[in-house]
Amino acid sequence: MKLNRRAFIGTGAAAAAALQAPSVWGAAHGRPKVVVIGGGAGGATAARYLAKDSKGEIDVTLVEPSRQYYTCFFSNLYIGGFRDLSSIAHSYGTLASEYGINVVHDWATGIDRDAKTVTLAGGAVLPYDKLVLSPGIDFVEGAVPGWDLSTQHKMPHAYKAGSQTELLKAQIEAMPEGGRFAMVAPPNPYRCPPGPYERVSMVAHLLKDINPTAKILVVDPKANFSKQALFEEGWAKHYPGMVERIGPDFGGENVSVNADEMTVDIDGVVEKIDVCNVIPAQKAGRICELAGINEGNWAPVDGHTMASRMDESIHVLGDATNQGDMPKSGFSANSQAKVAAMAIRGDLTGSKVFPAKFSNTCWSLIDTDDGVKVGASYQATDEKIAKVDGFVSQTGEDAALRKATYEESLGWYAGITSDMFG
Amino acid sequence: MVKGAKTIFGVAFFVSCVAASSSVADEIGDAERGEKLFRQCAACHQVGQGAKHRVGPHLNGIFGRKAGTVDGFTRYSEGLVRAGNDGLVWSLDKLHAYLENPKYLVSDTRMNFAGIEKREDRADVLAYLRQFSDNPADIPEAQPTALAPEVELSPETLAIVGDPDYGEYLASECTTCHQRDGSDQGIPSITGWPREDFLIAMHAYKRKIRPHPVMQSYAGRLSDEEIAALAAYFEGL
């Protein structure tokens, strides 16, 4: 990660401002206030575009607990040994110093929709004219019997990048020779549809190097999954005999785990394993529930503006939303953030508003220089965000195209992270 | 080999105008006439028995070949190699497009050539080149005009003045991948691109003449006005 001096001072200044802030932020301030909760692909992008495009007309505060943000996208490449962890770490210094965003490293613990305020764990109360929630995912309690957050150090989810990803990789590296790695895959809908299967590929890549007789067991409640033909072709080609997947027809949806015994129970058959990556069922980040804007597990939004269907002063982005056809991905969140920023700016400053356009592409790496992609473009209708046109890599593509696709993903990573963090 | 195969043009001899009024709509073109027209290409390209790479690669076997892949030729532009990887294969219609305006298919092509404006002239050159490809049977002979849409943009399309504010908003979709600072790792830079190159490239994606599926998808739903707005925005960055 690059951290230049100016960016560093920016973070320091923002942190100092946060410490000195009174419990209610400058209510006398004339500029309209937008508070953004969550500094990932949705929130960081929204904050940056609001600040950049309003040219100081909007007072933007970004609330994010982590000072160091690890992108979920490309975290599988860290497991596979293609990236080091520092290369997927980002800080908020530039957003503070270059864009004048108030970056507050704290947890949002409550939202008062009538008073239009956000309460932080540290006690501060932030008033807003518009609120943007981009909290990502949390896990559904009890989704995998035997697993909860207290067992995540034994059976990591590694589905929020950072220490969990590091832990999972360390466990894989410490596996006994010829040992067994198990993944409990999530049911739909969940963050990053190809993510678990790219992870299987990256774990296989790592094991092929350091523990070639090890095996991978995937327990999956879904009959089909994203880019399935591409992954299965790649596994057979690069990692023959290593990956076994148990779908719902063989009990893949009836699974429990025992973290003390390191076992997985698949429809009554108990398997001993050495490493277990549990990716449970998911729901919108908890702040959406606290705000009372969920319907079921997710926050429904109007695709034209990304405004909550429950409260037009709140816009919701990314994984936490129920919006229609877009997959839950960093690319989607980044795309939705720009639509939301435009709509909010239009409401607060009267700037021009254009029709919403969305897009998404998800690249996955199967093995060295073997990249694939799936994507689509979308538009807003009154009912939902609807898919317009899509594409997916084909099986049997030549090596040069796969390499070019991987290189394209590197370009995209550099592009989207600079689009998020400046 | 058929007639004309013996010829190697080593000398640049530009034929500025060949009067050609006879219409040959039912055939691929007139190879003999194409041989004469090819002289404008021969400064850089050889074709036929013993043809060697010159400024440009030799053109034996061009039909059906993946772009940017001739053995021994090392001076392809990045964009041409990328287009080949994306799926550009030299079929009759792609060659027609390339001869009409090379930039329609590859923006940074090193083929510094203004293009052959008349469809019939292109068809004749291609009929000539076709004789030096291995499987002429696979190369369509009939109705060349139906196979080759004109790629040049109309003056009206080129003249559309885009709304820069709209361009800025639309551009936010591009900058997820194409970095504003002009970095081009894995994905080409479009910052500061000349307006006309931008228009030509985007319309080629929209019409699926250029192969990249992501770009085809994005360009496919942009109106002419939206493409013009983007072109104006990126040129001004």
Residue A181 near residue A216, CB atoms below 8 Å: yes
Contact B179 A361 (CB under 8 A): no
CATH architecture label of A142-280: 3-Layer(bba) Sandwich (3.50)
Distance CA(A124)–CA(A127), nearest Å, equals 10
Domain boundary residue, one of B100, B125, B147: B147
Residue A123 near residue A103, CB atoms below 8 Å: no
Nearest to A241 by CA among A206, A212, A282: A212
Q: What is the CA radius of gyration of chain A?
A: 22
Distance CA(A24)–CA(A94), nearest Å, equals 25
From chain A, pick out residues whose CB is under 8 angstroms from the CB of B82: 404
Tokens of A387: 């898919």
3-class DSSP assignment, residue A362: strand
> What's residue B237's pLDDT?
86
A89-92: list long-range contacts, CB under 8 Å, 24+ apart: A89/A1, A90/A1, A90/A417, A90/A420, A90/A421, A91/A1, A91/A3, A91/A7, A91/A11, A91/A67, A91/A421, A92/A10, A92/A11, A92/A14, A92/A39, A92/A44, A92/A62, A92/A64, A92/A67, A92/A421
Same domain for B192 and B109: no
Q: What is the CATH number of the domain that holds B113?
A: 1.10.760.10
Nearest to A242 by CA among A270, A276, A205: A205
Q: How far is A331 from chain B (nearest CA, A)?
A: 8
Tokens 């009409």 belong to residue:
B100
Residue A285 near residue A320, CB atoms below 8 Å: yes
Nearest to A136 by CA among A363, A324, A328: A328
Distance CA(A218)–CA(B204), nearest Å, equals 43
A299 contacts: CB under 8 Å, gap ≥ 6: A133, A284, A288, A293, A308, A310, A316, A320, A321, A322
Looking at this protein, which amino acid is placed at residue B98? Y
Distance CA(A256)–CA(A369), nearest Å, equals 36
Query: Which member of A361, A410, A419 has the closest CB to residue B185?
Result: A410
Distance CA(A338)–CA(A100), nearest Å, equals 18
Categorize the per-residue pLDDT at B36 as very low, low, confident or very high, splitting at 50, 70 and 90: very high
Tokens of B78: 């990045």
In eight-state DSSP terms, residue A238 is H
> What's residue B136's pLDDT?
60
Q: How far is A384 from chain B (nearest CA, A)?
A: 18
Contact B185 A407 (CB under 8 A): yes
Tokens of A86: 């520092």
Laid out side by side, the sheet with A255-258 consists of A255-258, A263-266, A269-272
The residue with greater pLDDT, A350 or B184, is A350
Distance CA(A173)–CA(B195), nearest Å, equals 52
As a whole number, the mean pLDDT across chain B is 84
Helix (H) or strand (E) holding A283: strand A282-284
pLDDT digits (tens, 9 = 90+) for B165-183: 899 999 999 999 999 888 8
CB atoms within 10 A of CB A25: 22
Laid out side by side, the sheet with A314-316 consists of A102-104, A59-63, A33-37, A130-133, A314-316, A307-308, A299-302, A321-322
Average pLDDT of B105-120? Answer: 93
3-class DSSP assignment, residue A383: coil
Partnered with residue A295 across adjacent β-strands are A298
Nearest to A157 by CA among A195, A205, A214: A195
Same domain for B179 and B101: no
The separation between CA A386 and the C-alpha centre of its own chain, rounded to angstroms, equals 21
CA distances from B30 to A153, B21, B125, B127, B135 (A): 75, 12, 8, 6, 18
> What's residue B141's pLDDT?
58
Q: List, by residue range, all CATH 3.50.50.60 domains of chain A.
A: 5-138+283-354, 142-280
CB pairs under 8 A between A and B: 92
Contact B185 A411 (CB under 8 A): yes
Same domain for B166 and B124: no
3-class DSSP assignment, residue A217: strand
In eight-state DSSP terms, residue A269 is E
Domain boundary residue, one of B96, B114, B147: B147
Categorize the per-residue pLDDT at B16 as very low, low, confident or very high, splitting at 50, 70 and 90: very low
Query: Which member of A390, A407, A416 has the closest CB to residue B186?
Result: A407
Same domain for B83 and B118: yes
Distance CA(B218)–CA(A46), nearest Å, equals 21
Query: Which member of A375, A401, A414 has the closest CB to residue B183?
Result: A414
From chain A, pick out residues whose CB is under 8 angstroms from the CB of B217: 359, 375-377, 388-391
pLDDT in tens, chain A (422 residues): 444 434 444 444 444 444 444 334 444 458 999 999 999 999 999 999 999 999 999 999 999 999 999 999 999 999 999 999 999 999 999 999 999 999 999 999 999 999 999 999 999 999 999 999 999 999 999 999 999 999 999 999 999 999 999 999 999 999 999 999 999 999 999 999 999 999 999 999 999 999 999 999 999 999 999 999 999 999 999 999 999 999 999 999 999 999 999 999 999 999 999 999 999 999 999 999 999 999 999 999 999 999 999 999 999 999 999 999 999 999 999 999 999 999 999 999 999 999 999 999 999 999 999 999 999 999 999 999 999 999 999 999 999 999 999 999 999 999 999 999 99
Domain boundary residue, one of B129, B147, B165: B147
Tell me whether strands A314-316 and A130-133 are parallel, antiparallel or unpaired.
Answer: parallel
ipTM confidence score: 0.83
Same domain for B160 and B133: no
Distance CA(A53)–CA(A71), nearest Å, equals 25
From chain A, pick out residues whose CB is under 8 angstroms from the CB of B84: 400
pLDDT digits (tens, 9 = 90+) for B64-100: 899 999 999 999 999 999 999 989 999 888 999 999 9
Examine residue B14 and state whether it is found in any structural domain, yes or no. Answer: no
Examine residue B178 and state whether it is found in any structural domain, yes or no. Answer: yes
Q: Is B29 left (phi over 0), alpha (psi -120 to 50) or beta?
A: left
Superfamily for A5-138+283-354?
FAD/NAD(P)-binding domain (3.50.50.60)
Categorize the per-residue pLDDT at B185 as very low, low, confident or very high, splitting at 50, 70 and 90: confident
> What's residue A231's pLDDT?
98
Examine residue B37 and state whether it is found in any structural domain, yes or no. Answer: yes
Length of chain A (residues): 422
Residue A88 near residue A95, CB atoms below 8 Å: no
Tokens of A188: 């739909």
CB atoms within 10 A of CB B233: 22
Nearest to A131 by CA among A205, A38, A201: A38
Q: How far is A54 from chain B (nearest CA, A)?
A: 12
Same domain for B231 and B215: yes
**Torsion over CA: A22, A27, A29, A33 (sign):** positive
Query: Which member of B166, B173, B213 has the closest CB to residue A391?
Result: B213
Contact A419 B184 (CB under 8 A): no
Distance CA(A238)–CA(A249), nearest Å, equals 26
Compute φ and ψ for B144, nearest 5 degrees: -60, -30
Domain that includes residue B173, residue range: 155-235
> For chain B, how many structural domains are there in total?
2
In eight-state DSSP terms, residue A84 is -
Contact B177 A416 (CB under 8 A): yes
Categorize the per-residue pLDDT at B35 as very low, low, confident or very high, splitting at 50, 70 and 90: very high
Mutating which of A48, A230, A354 best tests the B interface, going by the most B Cβ atoms within 10 A? A354
Examine residue B20 and state whether it is found in any structural domain, yes or no. Answer: no
SS3 labels along chain B: CCCCCCCCCCCCCCCCCCCCCCCCCCCCCCHHHHHHHHHHCCCCCCCCCCCCCCCCCCCCCCCCCECCCCCCCCCCCHHHHHHHHHCCECCHHHHHHHHHCHHHCCCCCCCCCCCCCCHHHHHHHHHHHHCCCCCHHHCCCCCHHHHCCCCCCCHHHHHCCCCHHHHHHHHHHHCCCCCCCCCCCCCCCCCCCCHHHHHHHHHHHHCCCCCCHHHHHHHHCCCHHHHHHHHHHHHCC
Tell me whether strands A307-308 and A299-302 are parallel, antiparallel or unpaired.
Answer: antiparallel
Distance CA(A209)–CA(A215), nearest Å, equals 13
B20 contacts: CB under 8 Å, gap ≥ 6: B33, B118, B120, B121, B124
